[in-house]
Structure 1
Amino acid sequence: MSEFRWPVRVYYEDTDAGGIVYYANYLKFFERARTEWLRQLGFNQELLRQQGILFVVREVNAKYKQPARLDDELQVSVAVEKMGKASFNIVQTVYRVSSEEEQTLVSGSVSIACIDDKGKPRIIPADILSAV
């Protein structure tokens, strides 16, 4: 699959006392984009949960390059780097988008595991694997 992008606007609640996005909030932006990516593929996380299919973060790595500020228009990308039987790795990037340019603010990698409702690893269903 190609890169998926989700728009995010920076609100006051996303910023710290200095008026820039608090570093941990970028992980929330990553999460929102992954949720919308799955939704765009046709998979609702609540329905998956009801079927005993959960995706959890195993590891995350983020490199902060430039700060985002209040009212910035951002885009958060999702691109699958590697698929396994019960896990996959995603590359995510937060961009500031303006009419003049696109600037990379944060780049990261996220390792996702598929588990059942008891917390045990499970194979990613074939329909999800084929959609990704």
Structure 2
Amino acid sequence: MKTEYPFQVRWGDTDAAGIVFYPNFYKWMDDATHDYLAQIGYPSSKLFAEHKIGVPLLEANCVFKRPLLFEDQVIVQSFVEELRNKVFKIKHEFIKEEQIVAEGYEVRAWTSFEGKPKANPIPDVIREKMLSQVGTVEG
């Protein structure tokens, strides 16, 4: 499943030149990941409140192709690119006016926070929702 997370660049997201300050892309990827989970039926707040499950970040990367400016309308398209037993890689494409302006990914672990945090296998019901678009599946 590919999801879309739309937003508008705010004044506080930009530097003195009016160009988006790069850490904001990482913030938006985080937002898009939590939105992705909500769109497949598993909002992060519910996962944590009911099951003490979270998806902490293990790795992140972003490549910037074109600048974003104050008031730009952007859509982040997100999809799971790789799915392992306890870890998934989610790709994010930042689109403005039908052009990719940046693309990145996050690697996250399905983690129980009951007691000491520990990575757990991703439940089959959630894996099935992610699998519909995965490029690579590994055990």
- Normalising by structure 2, report the TM-score: 0.86
| CA-to-aligned-CA distance 1:10-66 (integer Å, 9 cap, x gap) | 010111111111100011111111111111111111111121211011101111111
Is the 2:33–2:90 contact (alpha carbons within 8 Å) kept by the matching residues of 1? no
Secondary structure (helix, strand or coil) at the match of 2:118 reads coil
Please give the root-mean-square deviation of Cα atoms over the aligned residues, in Å.
Answer: 1.1
Opposite residue 106 of structure 2, the aligned amino acid is V
Structure 1 runs of 4+ off > 6 angstroms? none
Deviation of residue 9 (structure 1)?
0.4
Aligned twin of 1:65: 65
Give, in angstroms, the shift of residue 111 of structure 1. 0.7
Q: Could you tell me how far apart the structure 2 residues matched to 1:123 and 1:6 are?
A: 27
Q: Percent identity?
A: 30
**CA deviation digits over 1:86-109, x for unaligned, max 9?**
001111111112xxxx12111112
The alignment covers a number of residue pairs equal to 127
| SS in structure 1 at match of 2:55 | strand
Q: Structure 2: which 5+ residue stretches go unaligned? A: 131-139
In structure 1, C-alpha distance between the alignment counterparts of 2:40 and 2:66, rounded to whole Å: 30
Identify the residue that residue 27 of structure 1 maps to in structure 2: 26
Gaps of 5+ in 1: none
